[in-house]
A and B are shown apart, each in its own frame.
Chain A
Amino acid sequence: MTEVSETRLAQPNRKAKRRFKKEYLWGYSFVAAPILGFLLFAFIPIGYSVFVSFTKYDAFNPPEVIGAENYARLLFEDPLFWKSLVNTFYAAVGIPIGMAVALAIAIALNQKIVGIKYFRTVFFLPTICSVVALTLLWKWIFNADYGLLNYLLSLINVEGPAWLNDYRWAMPSMIIQGVWAGLGFHMILYLAALQGVSSTLYEAAEIDGAGSWKKFRYITIPGISPTTLFILITAIIGALQDFVRFMIMTEGGPEYSTMTVVYYLFLNAFRYMDMGYASAMAWMLGILIMIITLINFWLSRRWVHYE
């Protein structure tokens, strides 16, 4: 009696097992391409780059191991690296400004506005446009003598600075351009987040007599905090690696006032062919990015609320 029932039970089990084993093969073959790509274009290169960072390597002659010399040079002998690091953080000032403006636009758009599609498209436009074209455009806007910005300022009797040619104004110019170009992307994310905040919370707060500021402070801000964290992290990672704009608009000048870490790294790697040194720099920056991201996550436990 018991034996019969056991074999009966075992039968479909074995079948299921066989089917499961077949599923293994399908599964592995389906994920093979991205995993192989990961090994070839991420895992192996990353490992190799650790090695290169301890060598002197010009990409033509074989790499020559020099120990931690590159790192020592970065930390103690290269003021330009430190300057570029400071500049990179200076450029990141644009992040909170951009986030605040993007949130303001999203809130305005969230009030059943007529023409929401028009506004959404207009703010989003720069996001889909080529960085090269937009950078060329802004270089012309910032032109000291004939540019749009100084013309507009002249209309209100302000004499504009030389923007990109003035070491004090070059970085603020880049920040303005960056905020303009990045607004739309963050606006869309915030708009989606705002629409996800449950309206019953607002209704309940209204019954309790909460004004708009209180509703904003105690319902909206916590409600969209996961999106704020997401934007913050991706924006910081992006800003620390930003350089195409700088390369085209200022080439790091004037007086290295817009030299960013990645542009400096790029120059070292592909202009001066100092791959070892550039790799060490990449690792310093990479580790810095990871540390900042971890700190972000850690701090976020205090202010991010998940439902």
Chain B
Amino acid sequence: MNKNRMFGRISAYVFLICGSIFMLLPFAWMISTSLKQEGKVFEYPVRWIPNPVEWGNYLTVLTEAPLIGGLMNTLIIILPPMFIGLLTSALAAYAFAKLRFPGRDFLFMMMLATMTIPGVVTMIPTFILFKTIGWLDSWNPLMIPGMFGSAACVFFLRQYFRTIPSELEDAAKMDGLNPFGVFVRVILPLSKPALAAQAIFGFIGGYNDFMGPLIYINSPEKFTLQLVLASFQGYYVSNWTLIMAGSVLALIPTVILFFFAQRYFVEGITMSGMKG
């Protein structure tokens, strides 16, 4: 039995170490390429540590390509809807979790149903809608819908709010607080981890979104970071050093965010996955 367990432990380590090499090698290759001189990319056998190290690739990408501008556009587009959407979602989630009103469960089910509709089906008609009201080539289609909250976020927060004991709310109600007061004074402070998880999801999702900007934005000066990055392909054709340098830069913000907020992230995912 003990021998068996030992064997199991050792094979688990071997498996995980091999697996983590498989996961990390592409990133190592990416960074290695990004630091090579243009001509040295095609050297065989592959040299993992470039000689000389060409930091200039990053400088070139940052100064010549509108990467910074793209980042600023991305932040302007995602931050306001992220906060407003979180607030509207949380309000609705609170109502669905704790308040009683006729049609509540019907409305909730209807909202959940939107989550099951494939995104493809709404892609074209929403494009037509935004074209009709003259929002093409503006940030509005990327910003406004998110401010109404999202069904997934409402669902997640509702599950969380339901775990908050109602004695706390009752006490607050005795003190004369109306539902909005209870929401602001009791529910929100108690839900920081859940709100943080949703905010991080929202940020990473918005930051990495490619489809939305691709469909709605045409003018290069309005490009988001992902659009700028995708345009590298045509721009630098097969200059892999610069394409990889740009890609590394584009990954940095979400990777940093993930390292700092890992706990919320993992918790958020496991919670939404288990409630299926």
Q: Which residues of A contact B (CB under 8 A)?
A: 20, 23-24, 26-28, 30-31, 33-38, 40-46, 48-49, 52, 59, 104-105, 107-109, 111, 113, 118-126, 128-134, 136-138, 140-141, 143, 145-146, 148, 151, 180, 183, 185, 188-189, 191-193, 196, 212, 226-227, 229-231, 237, 240-241, 244, 248, 262, 265, 269-270, 275, 278-279, 282-283, 285-286, 289-290, 293
Whether B26 pairs with A180 at a CB distance below 8 angstroms is yes
Whether A105 pairs with B100 at a CB distance below 8 angstroms is no
Q: Which residues of B contact A183 (CB under 8 A)?
A: 23
Whether A140 pairs with B127 at a CB distance below 8 angstroms is no
B220 on the A face (CB < 8 A): no
Whether B269 pairs with A125 at a CB distance below 8 angstroms is no
- Interface residues in B60-97 (C-beta closer than 8 Å to A): 88-89, 91-92, 94-96
Q: Which of A37, A49, A240, A265 is B149 in contact with, Cβ under 8 Å?
A: A37
Q: Which residues of A contact B127 (CB under 8 A)?
A: 59, 269-270
Q: Which residues of A contact B24 (CB under 8 A)?
A: 122, 125
B123 on the A face (CB < 8 A): yes
B204 on the A face (CB < 8 A): yes
The interface bits of chain B over 4-26 (1 if a CB of A lies within 8 angstroms of the residue's CB, else 0) are 10001100110110011011111
With A132-B230, A192-B274, A229-B276 as known contacts, state yes or no: A137 contacts B247, CB within 8 Å.
Answer: yes
Q: Which residues of A contact B150 (CB under 8 A)?
A: 34
Whether A31 pairs with B125 at a CB distance below 8 angstroms is no
With both beta carbons as reference points, the residue of chain B lying nearest to A187 in the complex is identified as B19
Question: B interface, by DSSP: helix, strand, loop or mixed?
Answer: helix
With A151-B44, A227-B273, A227-B274 as known contacts, state yes or no: A275 contacts B254, CB within 8 Å.
Answer: no
Interface centre among A42, A122, A265 (most CB of B within 10 A): A42
Whether B274 pairs with A196 at a CB distance below 8 angstroms is yes
Q: How far is the CB of A108 from chain B (nearest CB, A)?
A: 4
- Provide a sorted-by-A list of 30 A–B residue pairs whose CB atoms are within 8 angstroms: A23-B99, A27-B179, A28-B95, A34-B88, A37-B145, A37-B148, A40-B145, A43-B114, A45-B122, A46-B117, A46-B122, A105-B15, A108-B12, A109-B12, A129-B208, A130-B207, A130-B229, A130-B254, A131-B208, A132-B226, A133-B229, A146-B42, A180-B26, A193-B273, A227-B274, A230-B274, A270-B215, A282-B124, A285-B120, A286-B118
Q: Which residues of B contact A108 (CB under 8 A)?
A: 12-13, 15-16
Q: How far is the CB of A18 from chain B (nearest CB, A)?
A: 13
With A108-B12, A130-B207, A146-B42 as known contacts, state yes or no: A31 contacts B119, CB within 8 Å.
Answer: no
The interface bits of chain B over 211-229 (1 if a CB of A lies within 8 angstroms of the residue's CB, else 0) are 1000100000000001001
With A33-B88, A119-B20 as known contacts, state yes or no: A24 contacts B179, CB within 8 Å.
Answer: no
The 9 A-B pairs of least Cβ separation, nearest first, read A37-B148, A45-B125, A27-B101, A30-B95, A192-B270, A230-B276, A133-B247, A33-B88, A108-B12
With A30-B94, A240-B118, A279-B125 as known contacts, state yes or no: A24 contacts B101, CB within 8 Å.
Answer: yes
Q: How far is the CB of B104 from chain A (nearest CB, A)?
A: 7
Whether B117 pairs with A132 at a CB distance below 8 angstroms is no
In the assembly, what is the distance between CA of A148 and CA of B28, in Å?
10
B262 on the A face (CB < 8 A): yes
Q: Which of A49, A119, A123, A189 is B270 in contact with, Cβ under 8 Å?
A: A189
Q: Which residues of A contact B124 (CB under 8 A)?
A: 49, 52, 269, 275, 278-279, 282
Q: Which residues of B contact A148 (CB under 8 A)?
A: 25-26, 29, 46
